[in-house]
Structure 1
Amino acid sequence: MDLAAAQQVLKTTFGYDEFRPGQKAVIEQVLAGQNTLAVMPTGGGKSLCYQIPALLFDGITVVVSPLISLMKDQVDALNDNGIAATFINSSLDYATIQSRLQELRAGDYTLLYIAPERLDSQQFIQALGQLPIKLLAIDEAHCISQWGHDFRPSYLALSTAIEQLPTQPQVLALTATATEQVAQDICQRLAIAPDHEVNTGFARDNLDLSVVKDQDTDRYILDYLKANQGEAGIIYASTRKEVARIATLLQQHHVKAAMYHAGLEDNIRRQNQEDFLYDRVQVMVATNAFGMGIDKSNVRFVIHAQVPGTLEAYYQEAGRAGRDGLPSEAVLIYRPQDAQIQHFFIDQSEMDDEHKHRSYQKLQVMSQYANTQGCLQQFILKYFGETSESCGRCSNCRDDREAQDITTNAQKVLSCVVRLHARFGKGVVAQVLTGANNQRIRDLDLKGLSTYGIMADQRQKTVTELVDFLTAAGYLQSVGGQYPTLTVTKTGVAVLKGESQVYRKTAQTVKQAAPVNDALFEQLRTLRRQLAEDQQVPPFVIFSDKTLHSMCDILPENDAAFLNVRGVGANKLEKYGETFMQTIRAYVHQPVASQD
């Protein structure tokens, strides 16, 4: 089977002229019958790597996908494009599952989506054995590796299940985040030859990375959302309590926001996710329970209000912005105390000592990322084993803020920590410096310290933020697990001795994540939302933002021109062409306003 047939399907079914980087190599290997590992960034077009072969193969392609809440969206998108697909998961009753298996045996479907937990059932594996399965595509394949950030025991049944299927289907494993060690582990477990790994690199040229430190989180988020009104985004927090707090804050400021975490009732969680996918709400505030495999292509920003536990998790979650290739932004708001939350999670986990140690190391890497002065993308790529030039786009590469000399205030803080003999955390340090007169300060007899009250002209919160800055910048070190204490580092000692100065940059200002949309784009977006509501599918299932922007560039008024729009195939032309062209024609031919 040659690549020309795949190229034809790419154009006529999916409406694209060219493959994205890596897609051609993966599809060539799959069509040649080779087990393959595809490591491609989020938004890199991994799904086409199995969807196109599925349309060319005789038989069924089974897709293992970890989140059942997303399967319906993926299947809806395929069905909307004229491709016969279905899913089987725990949301269906027994009779429906049996009915779908019967339809699959009758050849009614080309693609079948299942959750990995299905393969824990020997009965289900036997049912799959009756199907002509040609290809097994394993999405989020890093979940199979114990070295990965999101290891899932249910994935371990995959290799056993493959061996039990009579058709011995070939395997395509796909992931966006895999270190060299994780990639080796995937290949070993799924019998993929190392030279059959296709890795397109981890760089996301349309994603601007930013780290924000030493600022009021709530103020920054509210300012950011004001600057990016109408654009869809995700805000991640580490705890359910913080998710609820931020969501309530946004709603009080008239931002259309919903929340998502494992503590919500299933029906509420489902409704909130649907509202976000259907563009009924602008912002989803969530724990890391939300997002794996989310196909919503028009997410313009991802903000981490608290630091996550690993760089892999961060980059995967950040990568949910800009899946359509349009300019987007990923912002990490970093405060050292948030890293302590992750530290606490590790302390309280049931992991063995080896895995805990590995988790502490991964958390340390995350803190190093937040505090690096170098290029943020370069830091991430190096972690994944790639060398690169500076990106020129991240907050460090374009940081031209004015630096202020804060050496005197820094010396006051460092001096206080020394006089407290590294026995206390930042709360007590800030209370001593601002001259607090609470019971604890009196009980500890700290009012007699020479540093007591020497910053009484400042708010305790301001001094605490300064302590955070000095910790993040390496002048102080936070030691311990749940209740860390502060010590002065060698760099801090040099400041105390007057051998070096401390500079702190002025507050970061927010920026708009995406270009300003023109009037036609907004009209097309409104039309798309109306059609989506009528059909009860998410708007991106009909067309992506990138396709709408392509319409605005080409301004198609007939079928031939509409087929030249990126992301429009024959099926989409038939279903939506005339409806969208009516709006475009009305826009193009509207009377020009008089210029008296």
Structure 2
Amino acid sequence: MIAPEVLLQKYYGHAAFREGQKKAIDAILQGRDVLAVMPTGAGKSVCYQISALLLPGVSIVISPLISLMKDQVEALHQMGIPAAYINSSISSEEFFQTMYLAQQGQYKILYVAPERLMTESFLRFASSVTISMVAVDEAHCVSQWGQDFRQSYLDIPVFVQQLPVRPVCTAFTATATVQVEEDIAAILQLQQPERIKTGFDRKNLFFGVRRPRSKMEELLELIREFRGKSGIVYCTTRKSVEEVCDVLCDAGYAATRYHAGLSDAERARNQEDFLYDQKPIMVATNAFGMGIDKSNVSFVIHYNMPKDLESYYQEAGRAGRDGEPAQCILLYGGRDVRTNNFLIERSRETMEVEDPEQREFLIEKSKERLKQMTFYATSTTCLRRRMLQYFGERAPESCGNCSCCQTNYREEDGTMAAKMIISCVYRAQKSGYHLSRSMAANVLVGSKRETILRMGLDQLSTYGLMSKLTRREVQDWIDELVAQENLALRPFADYQELALTSGSVAIIRDEKKVMHRVPIVQEKLAAPAGTVDPTLSEADNALFQQLRELRTKLARNEGVPPYFIFSDATLRDMCRKKPGSMPEMRQVSGVGVIKAQKYGKQFLKILMAAGD
């Protein structure tokens, strides 16, 4: 049998496997099931792709999104690996043609949508060929404890049971808590799987949270700093996507948009513009991104807070896939919590689950995950540590590469301020009022707004108690108390009302102190945000731009995204190594046999000219 390392060098252009990859491949080739939890950019797909090339017959890769399959298959074709996909985007004629070619041994890897598995035609095909492996990508979708449960994933173990011979079963995901990991193994009926966890920490990513007065102004400032770079701006709602995209375009940035309200044709066109670097900034809802392998995403900005840490980690993790330094910035506002609570409540109507008790269970789990996300967004201690602990990993007190670790704080006793706010909520409840976060802040600062006066809220004994602070500062205090569970937000009418908790009672009774961390220096970004790579000399930066221009030209001629040709990381390695021959070109990380044959001479021409 050919050694896996030979195929890694031949097709992917890498001399050595990343952590966990070889262990997964060895287990698969020994006929063992595998459960791998590896972060975005760790090379999960290499594990099952190289295994598929070495196993007899065909391997089935189950993937949740059409765009994910299309990109994976196109990337494999670029490397010279025979693969195809089956989903709702292909015609019946294309389906039967793909099945015929697969039966003839033309494909080693077949990507399949989970909805297709139990169809009569696919089951008939699956019984007529040798299926050596079933690989489940985005395996967390099988778990109701996870953030992205898909009912169709429950068909996977049923499909496997229908096969004449049980193949090796493997599951891969980037986001799984301990509970979700156990769920994956149980539901997919993995048999004593080799468990591989390479850790969630991606040291090249800077994590930052900002709480700006104006999110739009803060976003524009960040985009100015990132000028010339490719990135994603995530928004919670379609309306926000439209507004943000319009503002960026009006400001002169090449931005496009993606959300479920657009036609299939426009979504496909906008995604293509982003992948091909025609419009390097994508403004999108969470409908965009799963399976997007664009390697040169240098920043991910969350304009709104996601509903859980799993989603945030997955979306932020689309930055820096090439291993280069990248920025992940969350713009937080208290309204984000209310919006997400509203969306969670509304999700009852769209859930695939019919059982009412099960629906309520899922709603409660979603609210618990939102609470953990809010803790992250309002944290004044190491963000990376908080995230890693959530996923069950040990972490040092400080990472040195997040906004909290790069901000100096002083601790203050905030018990008196907390008592004022709690008393305000209590007095209002006793008088029959249901205060929202903003109404409570208005009462405490002594606002003269017409609504406050008309409702008689100025008659509360706590009116104006915190008049020395701004309304925004009081709202921040309220957010902090909610995050610490010293107050709660609960649905009332069409908004969220503040409610007391056991923590509130303990504070009023002097059984609990509230410590408040106040920043004393402005947070800073971890790495230079300009277009110049500080690790390259001035001459090499100019060479890098020349190589990028050639890559863009070749990609346009072939109708593929530029990173399909070579990643930015590969181009930088060319600049550092300056190969002068084809054998030397093959030593550049990311240059496999097929790509060297197709593109090597053209890139060598530029590299050798630069060396003269």
TM-score with structure 2 length normalisation? 0.88
Contact 2:371/2:483 (8 A) holds in 1: no
Shift of 1:212: 1.8
Shift of 1:564: 0.7
The verdict on how the C-alpha distance between 1:476 and 1:388 changes in structure 2, with shifts beyond 3 A counting, is closer
SS at match of 2:12: coil
CA distance in 2 between counterparts of 1:582 and 1:101 reads: 42
Match of residue 583, structure 2, among 532, 557, 560? 560
Query: Once the two structures are superposed, what CA deviation does each residue of 1:271-297 show, in whole Å capped at 9, x if it has no partner?
Result: 111111111112111111111111111
Contact 1:404/1:504 (8 A) holds in 2: no
1:446 aligns with 2:461: no
- Counterpart of 1:360, as a letter, is K
> What residue number does 1:523 align with?
546
> What residue number does 1:103 align with?
101
- Counterpart of 1:503, as a letter, is V
In the TM superposition, what are the counterparts of 1:73-92 in structure 2 within 5 Å?
73-92=71-90
> What residue number does 1:479 align with?
489
Match of residue 329, structure 2, among 327, 331, 354? 331
Q: How many residues align?
A: 585
Contact 2:585/2:600 (8 A) holds in 1: yes
Taking only aligned residues, the RMSD between alpha carbons, in angstroms, comes to 3.0
Match of residue 374, structure 1, among 359, 363, 381? 381
CA distance in 1 between counterparts of 2:527 and 2:400 reads: 17
Shift of 1:9: 0.9
Shift of 1:475: 9.6
SS at match of 1:275: helix
CA distance in 2 between counterparts of 1:111 and 1:295 reads: 18
Match of residue 187, structure 1, among 176, 185, 188? 185
Shift of 1:120: 3.3
SS at match of 2:202: coil
Residue ranges of structure 2 left out of the alignment (5+ in a row): 349-357, 534-540
> What residue number does 1:593 align with?
none
In the TM superposition, what are the counterparts of 1:233-272 in structure 2 within 5 Å?
233-272=231-270
Calculate percent identity across the aligned residue pairs: 42
In the TM superposition, what are the counterparts of 1:388-537 in structure 2 within 5 Å?
388-389=395-396, 390-400=398-408, 420=428, 423-432=434-443, 436-448=447-459, 462=472, 466-467=476-477, 470-471=480-481, 474=484, 477-481=487-491, 483-486=495-498, 489=504, 503-505=518-520, 508-509=523-524, 512=527, 516-517=532-533, 518-537=541-560
Residue ranges of structure 1 left out of the alignment (5+ in a row): 590-596
CA distance in 2 between counterparts of 1:567 and 1:586 reads: 22
Query: Once the two structures are superposed, what CA deviation does each residue of 1:67-116 show, in whole Å capped at 9, x if it has no partner?
Result: 11222221111111111111121111111111121111122222111111
Query: Once the two structures are superposed, what CA deviation does each residue of 1:5-44 show, in whole Å capped at 9, x if it has no partner?
Result: 1111111221111110000100000111111111111110
Shift of 1:231: 1.2
Query: Once the two structures are superposed, what CA deviation does each residue of 1:190-209 show, in whole Å capped at 9, x if it has no partner?
Result: 33234511111211121122
After TM superposition, the structure 1 stretch with the greater mean CA deviation from structure 2, 336-345 or 366-375, is 366-375
1:361 aligns with 2:368: yes
After TM superposition, the structure 1 stretch with the greater mean CA deviation from structure 2, 337-346 or 443-452, is 443-452
> What residue number does 2:303 align with?
305
Match of residue 59, structure 2, among 34, 58, 61? 61
Shift of 1:430: 4.2
CA distance in 2 between counterparts of 1:401 and 1:549 reads: 38
The verdict on how the C-alpha distance between 1:408 and 1:567 changes in structure 2, with shifts beyond 3 A counting, is same
1:576 aligns with 2:584: no
Shift of 1:58: 2.4
The verdict on how the C-alpha distance between 1:331 and 1:486 changes in structure 2, with shifts beyond 3 A counting, is same
Shift of 1:122: 2.3
TM-score with structure 1 length normalisation? 0.90
Query: Once the two structures are superposed, what CA deviation does each residue of 1:406-435 show, in whole Å capped at 9, x if it has no partner?
Result: 999989877766664574223324444666
The verdict on how the C-alpha distance between 1:119 and 1:492 changes in structure 2, with shifts beyond 3 A counting, is same
> What residue number does 2:173 align with?
175
The verdict on how the C-alpha distance between 1:397 and 1:52 changes in structure 2, with shifts beyond 3 A counting, is same
CA distance in 2 between counterparts of 1:199 and 1:29 reads: 14
- Counterpart of 1:382, as a letter, is Q
Contact 1:236/1:303 (8 A) holds in 2: yes
- Counterpart of 1:531, as a letter, is L
Contact 1:327/1:514 (8 A) holds in 2: no
1:140 aligns with 2:133: no
After TM superposition, the structure 1 stretch with the greater mean CA deviation from structure 2, 434-443 or 236-245, is 434-443
SS at match of 2:39: coil
CA distance in 2 between counterparts of 1:193 and 1:243 reads: 44
1:543 aligns with 2:550: no
CA distance in 2 between counterparts of 1:56 and 1:171 reads: 15
CA distance in 1 between counterparts of 2:595 and 2:468 reads: 65
Match of residue 282, structure 1, among 280, 293, 301? 280
- Counterpart of 2:549, as a letter, is T
CA distance in 2 between counterparts of 1:253 and 1:404 reads: 41
